[in-house]
Structure 1
Amino acid sequence: MAKTTPATRSLAHAGIAFDVHVYVYDPGAERIGMQAAEALGEDPKRVLKTLMARVDGKPVCVILPSDREIAMKKLAAAFGGKSAEMMASADAERLTGYHVGGISPFGQRRPVPAAIEVMALGEPYVFINGGQRGLQIRLDPRAAAQLLGAVSAPLVA
């Protein structure tokens, strides 16, 4: 597995401190983020999942703890929109340049507005997908939010 991806290059270029962690990705896992947390031996609230959605028809990137579900009304409100919906997997892959299960908010083919669950910013560190299935990046959640220019808001149901 390559440990250099567009995500890691983006972080390195920005001067963000991070560590790369590899785990055995289970393509049959029902909840990918939860499987990553278990494989890494980490609390699910520190292993964040990256979801691609649309708010009022425009693409957005959403980052939240792997053990939580997104509240669409809260997501729409975070971007000042009226409605939100999940993006189809094929559209997310085409937009980001990553495969589902390996979508990172960093180094996407076409950057889009991002939102991060406010609870995550209270953690000393988090894991975020590194742009490849089975590759996680450990970093400061505040540094991640700053690099992405992410809105921090309550996003979970």
Structure 2
Amino acid sequence: MLLPYLNKIKSIKAMSIETAKQHLSRWKKDHEIMILDQSSATVELAAQALGVTGGEIAKSVSFYDQNGGAILIVTSGTARIDNRKFKDEFGQKAKMVSSEDVESLVGHPVGGVCPFGVKPEVKVYLDDSLRHFDWVYPACGSANSAIRLSVRELEQSSECVRWVDVTKE
């Protein structure tokens, strides 16, 4: 019973990486995806695996929108959502998408959520906390993948709606 379940999980993860890869191919960045030998599912693990600071990790945080869908905010790894700023920006309280809903709403599994190849109805926003860095490292669809992008490259390839200021350090 366990083996078919594990194979299904491996298949879903492979599809998520392929979705991110296909998305990034439009900017000729698909061959720059790094598949790591260790987990990069958290900011701390990603920073350690990549040899960078936690701030340089571009973490993707998903929140429910007003219609029960999801929005994705990409922030610096060390930044935290400021509830007041979030409410001022989006007109609603910040409510993170449950781990059970992340993949179905966003299109990537927990630990590999990224702004590349998300479901069409997901709106992506980049937080100003990323502007402190020349290079950032977002995931690419799995808990052991990443890509090194300039902030400008992230802005282009994420196809973000706009920049927002919804965090605090």
User: Residue 5 of structure 1: SS of its match in structure 2?
Assistant: helix
Structure 1 position 76 matched with structure 2 position 61: no
Structure having the higher strand fraction is 1
- What per-residue deviation string (whole Å, max 9, x for no partner) do you get for residues 11-31 of structure 1? 11244587222330177xxxx
Q: State the match for 1:39 in structure 2.
A: 49
What one-letter code is carried by the residue in structure 1 that aligns with 2:24? L
Label 1:141 to 1:26 Cα distance change in 2 as closer, same or farther (>3 A): closer
Structure having the higher helix fraction is 2
- What per-residue deviation string (whole Å, max 9, x for no partner) do you get for residues 68-122 of structure 1? 221233223333x132211111111111222100111110133411221213134
Q: How many pairs were matched up?
A: 152
Instruction: Indicate if the aligned counterparts of 1:116 and 1:152 stay in contact, CA closer than 8 A.
Output: yes
Gaps of 5+ in 1: none
Q: How does 1:101-140 map to 2 (within 5 A)?
A: 101-140=111-150
Q: State the match for 1:88 in structure 2.
A: 98
Instruction: Indicate if the aligned counterparts of 2:126 and 2:164 stay in contact, CA closer than 8 A.
Output: yes
TM-score (norm 2): 0.77
Higher Cα Rg, which structure: 2
Instruction: Indicate if the aligned counterparts of 2:40 and 2:145 stay in contact, CA closer than 8 A.
Output: no
Instruction: Indicate if the aligned counterparts of 1:63 and 1:117 stay in contact, CA closer than 8 A.
Output: yes
Q: State the match for 1:143 in structure 2.
A: 153
Pick from 10, 15, 19: which aligns with 2:32? 19
